[in-house]
Amino acid sequence: MGFIRGALLLASIFLDICVAQDNRTYQGFNSGNTFTNYDAKFEDDFVQEFSTMQKFTGAGVFNSVRLYTNIQAYTTSDVLSAIPAAIKTNTSILLGIWCSGSNNITNELTALTKAIDEYGEDLANAVLAISVGSEDLYRLSDVGIRQNAGVGAGPKDIVKFIDDTRKAIEGTVLADKPVGYVDTWRSWVNESNAEVIEAVDFLGVDIYPFFENDTTITPGYVNTFDNAVPIFDDRYQKTLNASQGKQVWVTETGWPYKSEGPAWGESVASVENQRDYWRAVGCSELFGQVNTWWYTLRDANPESKQNFAITDAKVENSTFDLSCAAGASNEVVYENSARRAPRSVFGLVRALLRR
C-alpha cells in the first residue's frame, strides 16, 4: 500500500507539472518548404524567417513554427532543413507529416527517423507536437472537390497514418509528444470523420472568414470584413463542440492583402483589413490564449491566388504595425474548451496503478 500511495503521489505531481506545461500557449507562423517560384528553401532561409518573427514586439512572443512536411523539397526523404534551423534559433516546432496523394507515409517517417537519429534531445526539446496530415479530409469532401483543392485522404487513411506515426516514435525521444491532425472546421464537424477525432490528442483547425461565403451557415452574416470576428467565433465554437473535449489549436488563420480570380462573397483583400483582422482576432482572441500559427509570415504556396504574408519581400519587417493595444485581449470564453494533459501522462498514471 505504501508503494501505491507513493506512486500515486508521484503520478499526481508529474501530472500537475505536465498540465502546467500543457497550459502554456505557443504562437508563431506556418512555413512551407518552397518559395512561390517553386524553389526549395534551405536552412539559411528558415533561419531568416524564424529570426525575423522573434524580433516582432507588441503582440507577445512569436517563437513557434508549424511545418507541413518533414521532407526537404525535391528529395525523397532527406530531413527538412527547417528542423536544424529551428533548433539553432530556439524555435518550437509543430511537426507536419504530409499525407495527401499517397497510400502510405513511409518517406515522411523515414525523414522523421533520420531527424531523431541526428538531433536527438535537441529535437525533442524543440518539438511541441506532431500533426499527421493537413486538410486531407477537406480535399476529399464535396466542397474541396468543387474548389479543386487537390488530392486528399479519407478518415480511415488518416487514422492509419496516425497509428503509423505513433509506432514510428515509440521508444524514441519523441514518444511523449502529442499527435494530432489539422483540417478545416467543416471537416471536424462532419460526423463521418469522428474516428479521426477519437484517434488524436489535439485538433488543429484552419479558419478563414475571408473564404466563408456560404450565408446559410450563419444566417445574416455575409463575409464582409465587419463580420469576420463573429464568423471566426462561430467556426471555432463549432469545432470545440465536435472535439470530444480535446484541445483545439488554431493552425491557420489570417486575412489576405491581395486576391486574384473570382470574388469570395463580400470579402475584400487589403493591407488595412489584414492589419485589422490581426488586431481583432489575433490580439483580442488568440495570442496568449490559444496555441496559434498565423497564416503567414512569407507566402509559399505557388498555387494560391491569395497573398497572406505579413512581411515585406525581404522578410525583414512587417508590412503593418503588429502591436496589440494595451488590454486588447477580451478573454473570449468558448464553451467546452477544456485542456488536457498529453496522452503519455495518463499512460504513466495507468502504468503506476497497475503495479
CA atoms within 13 A on the CB side of 60: 25
Q: Which residues are catalytic?
A: 135, 252
Per DSSP, which regions of the chain are E strands? 27-31, 64-67, 92-97, 127-134, 179-184, 202-206, 247-252, 258-259, 292-294, 306-307
Q: Is the dihedral of CA 341, 343, 344, 349 positive or negative?
A: positive
Contact yes or no for 227/177 (Cβ under 8 A): no
| Separation between Cα atoms, residue 277 and residue 207, nearest integer Å | 12
Residue from 204, 231, 228 nearest 217 by CA: 231
| Separation between Cα atoms, residue 36 and residue 260, nearest integer Å | 15
Residue from 158, 234, 147 nearest 203 by CA: 158
Per DSSP, which regions of 155-233 are E strands? 179-184, 202-206
